[in-house]
Structure 1
Amino acid sequence: MNKNINEKILIIYLPTGSGHLSNAKALKAEFVRQGYSDVKLYDPISPFSALGKFLMGTGYMIASQKIPMIWNLIYRGDESRLGCCLTHLIGLVFSFYGMLKICREYKPTRIVCTHAIPVYAVKYCAKKYRIPVSIVITDPFDPPRVWWDGHTFDLFCYSKEAGHWLEQHGVPARRIHAYNLLVQGKYFTPMKQDQIAAFMFNEGFDPEKPLVLMVGGGDGLPKAIKIFRRLVISKKDFQLAVICGRDIDTYNILTLLSIAYEKKRTIRIYGFVSTVYELMNSAHIVIIKAGPSVIAEALALKKPMLIASSLPGQEWPNIHWVTKHQLGFYCYKPSLVKKRVEELLQDPIKYDRLKQKLKQYDFKNTLPTMAGDILTINRVMH
């Protein structure tokens, strides 16, 4: 048994998109799998500040999905020293009380922080209570300055590219630990064909027909309505599933729109579901946003992916990485999504070529290694 099995591990996250929570949950599940039962997920802002909760939740969603120009300005600002300092100070104001409270009451022996905004409050508590801290960088390729500036914690990143990027920007190599994109371990174990067929039958799909899945994470897929309108008029014979997540407006609109086409093709509109793994296993093609979590899920299951939207600035490197390795296509407008879907469905050679690229790419589950390495960091730094 591990001699540190009685550790109390505190994982910090913020509700700025479902990807951060997904990563935090994956880390918690892995720590528990390795025998560490006392692991706590914690948001140090939302329970204590109505304004902070709005900014991190609704404000983030409005800026990133409804007014992308604003989000691009915010993200680019975090690449400068002044913008980085401002972001950290705002985070300190909103997260300071929550961090002090949890450190006094829970008394963690280790902190794993998956968000850059509360890092100053984390830094204060780490120094005050002498707690080792690890920062898990969730921007997988070109992380902005806000992740590494203003502290000396060890940095755990999702790619060798991110590791090189950090070194080029002056971060000492001893602080950098590089792995693969983070994804729950179950995605590396695909469902068997009979399991897929049974699931599809229960959901009302025909297991013999291709299924096209639109999924963008817990917050839904931007441009989903426009893409849906294009796909449902396609003459190709395929089934369509859309996961809207928490985007209730899109869910309601697509539910109404699907009624007019339900006699022509099988369509299922989902809200926030717990069957993303099963639906992605069942899919012939997945249409996604450029978030690292959903890219990692598609890559682990070797599913041809069409990236249909992204957060300006922040997720552009993700698109570049996918297309550079020929693991999928970037379709910046709905008409291109429809064109690519039809091409892949009517041309088995092109589809098989893409599947082969996905199978050949050496994408391993490094989550157990990352979790194990985090537990070896005992330096109390700030």
Structure 2
Amino acid sequence: MKVMILSVTAGFGHHATAKAVGDMLAEQGAAVRTIDVYEYINRAVKGTIDKGYLFSSKHTKELYRLVYALAENHGSNYFTTPISILNIVNALGASKIARIVTDFNPDVLVCTHVFAAQLINEVKKRGLLSTTTIGIITDYTIHPYWENVPYIDYVVTASELLHHRALRRGIEPNRLLHFGIPIHPKFNHEISREDACEQLGIDPNRPTILMMGGSMGYSNHRKLIQSLSLIGMDFQLLVVCGNNKRQYSSLARALDNYDGPCSIYPFGFVHNVEVMMSASDCIITKPGGLTVSEALAKNLPMILVNPIPGHEERNVEFLLNNGIALLVTKTFSVDEAVYHLFHNQPRIASIRQTMHAVAHPDATERLCNFILDMPRRS
């Protein structure tokens, strides 16, 4: 079995999903090749998408929210820019990406970003490719434009609860695979709290909160920590700053003068989030699709902060409407959220029960088994 996985630079989640699927397929004997499609078509476009996503989602939130909502409500033909630019790039790059795919000759193509799916949709529309194709939606919603890629044979969603939304968006039911968002299999392995705390060198008997801001370190950790100190409880805080080196340095300097009741442990980009989740009582996090799926797999209650406009706001809606998480707002601060959670044991029990029902910790395995059971190209 040969599988090609196509992703696009824009946040970390799409690549994490690609890696999770690719690694498991490779372990089961498949030949796997993973590429960033715009890296091969045009590096300038790749850089523009990467930097543009980071800048717009962080510094021009209202505009980003408006663009997302318009695309969601009116479809890809609504805009003249920037979507038309991507359409032009896809049209120009279709033949090139078709050659790359044909050279590898995969049995299955997997797209972990809708832009990659749009490109392959154009290739298949032109008759340049007939390979079976699977698209993966990496959030708890149906992103704009997934309804406009009819040549993608299957679409993986985060939950069967999104079935109705997908149908309303025009995706045929026979194309839908409600496997869940593929995450690294390590999040499906049980680690006792005691073992996790021993690995991290922290006290298993103290309340522990994991604080994350996504791979790009969006959250204002210093402000959140100041708010948590107001509760007066004896917390351990595991603070992950991701790739934001400036945030990590600022937090480390602030801790030199910190004399509050909490024990605070700052981290940069880490590779043992599953251990941290196993050691924690709750997580304060941006609601990125991968982080949400990992927390669900670990049955870890979530307090949500700073959602990126558009897709992460849709994640918030999904989680709140299903009773899975709390949301920090201007009028409901993080210290209040933590206080409510830790002083309402029936609520915690209810959250964990619902999380268990909604979670798909075996999503990667289910998708890989589906792929490996497909007929191979002659």
TM-score relative to the length of structure 2:
0.86
> Shift in Å at residue 360 of structure 1?
5.6
> Shift in Å at residue 87 of structure 1?
6.4
User: How many corresponding residue pairs?
Assistant: 369
CA contact (8 A) 1:284 1:303 kept: yes
**Hey, what's the Cα distance between the residues in 2 that align with 1:311 and 1:57?**
15
Indicate which of 65, 79, 82 corresponds to 2:77: 82
| Unpaired stretches in structure 2, ≥5 consecutive residues | none
**Hey, what's the Cα distance between the residues in 1 that align with 2:88 and 2:208?**
45
CA contact (8 A) 1:109 1:131 kept: yes
Aligned residue number for residue 103 of structure 1: 101
Q: For residue 248 of structure 1, what is the amino acid of its counterpart?
A: K
Answering whether residue 117 of structure 2 is matched by residue 119 of structure 1, we say yes
* SS of aligned partner of 1:11: strand
> Shift in Å at residue 170 of structure 1?
2.8
**Hey, what's the Cα distance between the residues in 1 that align with 2:143 and 2:60?**
22
Q: For residue 273 of structure 1, what is the amino acid of its counterpart?
A: V
Cα-Cα RMSD: 2.8
Go from structure 1 to structure 2 and tell me whether the alpha carbon gap of 1:35 and 1:358 turns closer, same or farther (over 3 Å shift). same
Of stretches 80-89 and 217-226 in structure 1, the one that deviates more from structure 2 is 80-89
Query: Which consecutive aligned stretches of 4+ in structure 1 deviate over 4 angstroms post-superposition?
Result: 93-98, 346-350, 359-364, 375-380
**Hey, what's the Cα distance between the residues in 2 that align with 1:259 and 1:190?**
35
Go from structure 1 to structure 2 and tell me whether the alpha carbon gap of 1:295 and 1:318 turns closer, same or farther (over 3 Å shift). same
Of stretches 205-214 and 162-171 in structure 1, the one that deviates more from structure 2 is 162-171
**Hey, what's the Cα distance between the residues in 1 that align with 2:359 and 2:265?**
33
* SS of aligned partner of 2:292: helix
Answering whether residue 289 of structure 2 is matched by residue 292 of structure 1, we say yes
Alignment of 1:326-341 (within 5 A): 326-333=323-330, 336-341=333-338
**Hey, what's the Cα distance between the residues in 1 that align with 2:279 and 2:188?**
15
Go from structure 1 to structure 2 and tell me whether the alpha carbon gap of 1:56 and 1:125 turns closer, same or farther (over 3 Å shift). same
Go from structure 1 to structure 2 and tell me whether the alpha carbon gap of 1:142 and 1:106 turns closer, same or farther (over 3 Å shift). closer
* SS of aligned partner of 1:260: coil
Answering whether residue 269 of structure 2 is matched by residue 272 of structure 1, we say yes
Answering whether residue 150 of structure 2 is matched by residue 135 of structure 1, we say no
Answering whether residue 37 of structure 2 is matched by residue 44 of structure 1, we say yes
Aligned residue number for residue 3 of structure 1: none
Go from structure 1 to structure 2 and tell me whether the alpha carbon gap of 1:8 and 1:362 turns closer, same or farther (over 3 Å shift). closer
**Hey, what's the Cα distance between the residues in 2 that align with 1:312 and 1:324?**
18
**Hey, what's the Cα distance between the residues in 2 that align with 1:232 and 1:91?**
50
TM-score relative to the length of structure 1:
0.85
Aligned residue number for residue 304 of structure 2: 307
CA contact (8 A) 2:7 2:112 kept: yes
Go from structure 1 to structure 2 and tell me whether the alpha carbon gap of 1:89 and 1:242 turns closer, same or farther (over 3 Å shift). same
Percent identity of the aligned residues?
Answer: 23
Aligned residue number for residue 248 of structure 2: 251
Go from structure 1 to structure 2 and tell me whether the alpha carbon gap of 1:348 and 1:376 turns closer, same or farther (over 3 Å shift). closer
| Unpaired stretches in structure 1, ≥5 consecutive residues | 1-6
CA contact (8 A) 2:181 2:293 kept: yes
Indicate which of 6, 17, 23 corresponds to 2:11: 17
Aligned residue number for residue 200 of structure 2: 200
Go from structure 1 to structure 2 and tell me whether the alpha carbon gap of 1:66 and 1:249 turns closer, same or farther (over 3 Å shift). farther
* SS of aligned partner of 1:111: strand
Aligned residue number for residue 228 of structure 2: 231
Aligned residue number for residue 180 of structure 2: 180
